[in-house]
Amino acid sequence: MTSPAPVVLVFLDPAYPEGRLADASQPQLMATDQGATRGDGVFESMLAVGGNVRKLQAHLDRLGGSAETLDLVIPAQEQWRAAIATGVAEHRSQHPAPSAAEDELVVKLVATRGPEGAGSPTCWVQVSPVGALGRRQREAGIDVILLDRGYDSDVAERAPWLLLGAKTLSYAVNMAALRHAHKQGADDVIFLSADGRVLEGPTSTVLLAHVETADDGAGARTVRRLITPQLDSGILPGTSQGALFAAAKAAGWELGYGPLEPQDLLDADAVWLISSIRLLAPVNHIDGKEIGTPALQKQLTAELNALYAGIQ
């Protein structure tokens, strides 16, 4: 039997300014907690490299935005920062990474509505190693299938109670989509709206790139354009996508936002699913069709990885 990955838990507790360490091998959550019984809560997942958490402010801001959407009152960002620092330091002390290249940790922030009738949230930080699968997919790429999410692209505006722009604990549909993909021999999914718009992955943001030659009168030049679906179509605003777009713009890339249709993915020179933990995962095939050309995809992936490496 494979040993479970080492996990460090830190609960946010007013009596413990730096957070309260808890034994991850022992029960910690009440059976009546609404995060467990109803999926009523929010979360964020971040990557810590060499002990430094990437895009911490962006994740804290998105956690707060998701909580506000759910009318959920959570602790101030300073309390989260203190608990995160405690958890990362404790994990690196108890479970040192085998090498600098493997010194990566998943830092997960969770806030639930708390036990039934308690009137206060349950909040904790969970720190664990990055899994081997995510590392492999960064390097080898992934095959994906397109799946209908069942909503049209305007539903988020018409029905805000669906919480489509919030990162909630209600992830059963997303996990079901991934299991369906695996049964089809694929690694991941890109959701489509009922009216045929490209949305997002179950745990990631969609990016695509076009490389063109333009002549503006001063001679031919190469134009690199990075595109992602429109945020107003009911998708989660990606912290990694936002940070990479800023870095790419500074490096001379042109940026674009949908609307995108499936053919746009098939016509792209490269497609990626990007997330905070797996980072850039190149998409090799969509519904069995090869995307772009391997050599150009590899080149563009290397360029964007180099830009992303400088993001803090």
- The model's pTM is 0.92
The single residue listed with the structure tokens 């300014």 is 17
Count of all residues that appear for the chain in the document: 312
CB-CB contact of 64 with 74 (8 Å): yes
Mean residue pLDDT of the chain comes to 93
User: Is the pLDDT at 2 greater than 60, yes or no?
Assistant: no
pLDDT of residue 219: 65
User: Is the pLDDT at 217 greater than 80, yes or no?
Assistant: no
For 208-229, what is the mean pLDDT? 84
| 3 state DSSP class of 211 | strand
pLDDT of residue 1: 45
CB-CB contact of 145 with 115 (8 Å): no
| Residue-wise pLDDT tens digits, 30-86 | 999 999 999 999 999 999 999 999 999 999 999 999 999 999 999 999 999 999 999
Torsion of CA 95, 96, 98, 99, to 10 degrees: 150
The single residue listed with the structure tokens 């713009």 is 249
Residues sharing a CB contact under 8 Å with residue 117, sequence separation 6 or more, in sequence order: 32
CB-CB contact of 195 with 206 (8 Å): no
What distance lies between CA 48 and its chain's CA centroid? 14
User: Is the pLDDT at 240 greater than 60, yes or no?
Assistant: yes
